[in-house]
């Protein structure tokens, strides 16, 4: 899953909010929906701000894009996954596993123009990476 986030920072002239969001819906949402692999597009609006806040803070909502992206981001960073789409490579750099987790497998991970399945196994202080399966034009580079 790839999550894209667009943030508007600025102010909308009071009384023009409807026109602003209508323009976003008419002009920007169709562009966003045309991106490859898009499953959903949501436009989130700030409802309230804290007094004295430097910039508007969104209301806590489980549908916010940042919360949807948090888990995939943490997993890719923890396992050291870095895709080079133009080079058709998936780099695995210094993977880590959390305490108490001695092994982990990712199956059918779409990356860099192909699909890979990877196994991560703790060996003492190090984490070993095994390519379990690979399909398409992707090279896995373990660093």
Q: For position 50, what pLDDT does the model report?
A: 61
Task: Give how many domains the chain has, as a whole number.
Answer: 2
- Of the candidates 126, 74, 114, 125, the residue with the CA atom closest to the CA atom of residue 142: 126
Average pLDDT, the chain: 79
Region 2-29: what's the mean pLDDT? 77
Average pLDDT, stretch 53-77? 62
Antiparallel, parallel or unpaired: β 81-84 and 89-92: antiparallel
Is residue 63 assigned to a domain? no
Residues 41, 82 within the same domain = no
- Which range among 25-34, 48-57, 113-122 shows the weakest confidence by mean pLDDT? 48-57
35 or 19, which is more confident?
19
Cα–Cα–Cα angle for 98, 103, 105, nearest 5°?
Answer: 110
- Between vectors from CA 123 to CA 117 and to CA 127, what angle results, nearest 5°? 45
For 30, the enclosing helix (H) or strand (E) is helix 29-33
| Residue scoring higher pLDDT (80 or 65) | 80
Question: Is 103 inside a domain boundary?
Answer: yes
In a domain, 40, yes or no: yes
Backbone angles phi, psi at 67, to 5 degrees: -70, -30
- The more confident residue out of 74 and 63 is 74
pLDDT given for residue 48 in this prediction? 59
CATH at residue 138: 2.60.420
Average pLDDT of span 35-57: 65
Query: What would the two tokens of residue 107 be?
Result: 């199956």
Q: Does some domain include residue 58? A: no
**pLDDT greater than 70 at residue 142:** yes
80 Cβ partners below 8 Å, 6+ apart?
91, 92, 93, 94, 95, 96, 143
Question: Would residue 65 count as lying in a domain?
Answer: no
Say if residue 71's pLDDT is above 60: yes
pLDDT tops 70 at residue 12:
yes
Say if residue 87 is in the same domain as residue 137: yes
| pLDDT at residue 11 in the model | 75
Tell how strand 139-142 and strand 126-136 pair up.
Answer: unpaired
Which two three-digit tokens encode residue 71? 């888990």
Does a structural domain hold residue 135? yes
Which uninterrupted H or E stretch holds 19? helix 17-23
Show the domain range for 133.
78-142
Q: Is the pLDDT of residue 83 over 90?
A: no
């Amino acid at each position: 899953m790839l999550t894209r986030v667009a943030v508007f920072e600025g102010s909308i002239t009071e009384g023009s909010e409807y026109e602003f969001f209508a323009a976003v819906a008419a002009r920007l949402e169709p562009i966003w929906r045309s991106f490859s692999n898009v499953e959903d597009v949501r436009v989130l609006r700030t409802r309230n701000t804290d007094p004295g806040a430097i910039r508007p803070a969104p209301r806590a909502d489980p549908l916010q894009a940042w919360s949807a992206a948090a888990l995939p981001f943490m997993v890719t960073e923890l396992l050291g996954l870095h895709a080079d789409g133009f080079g058709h490579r998936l780099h695995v750099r210094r993977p880590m596993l959390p305490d108490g987790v001695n092994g982990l497998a990712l199956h059918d991970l779409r990356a860099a123009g192909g699909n890979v399945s990877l196994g991560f196994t703790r060996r003492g202080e190090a984490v070993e990476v095994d390519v379990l399966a690979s399909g398409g034009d992707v090279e896995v580079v373990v660093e």
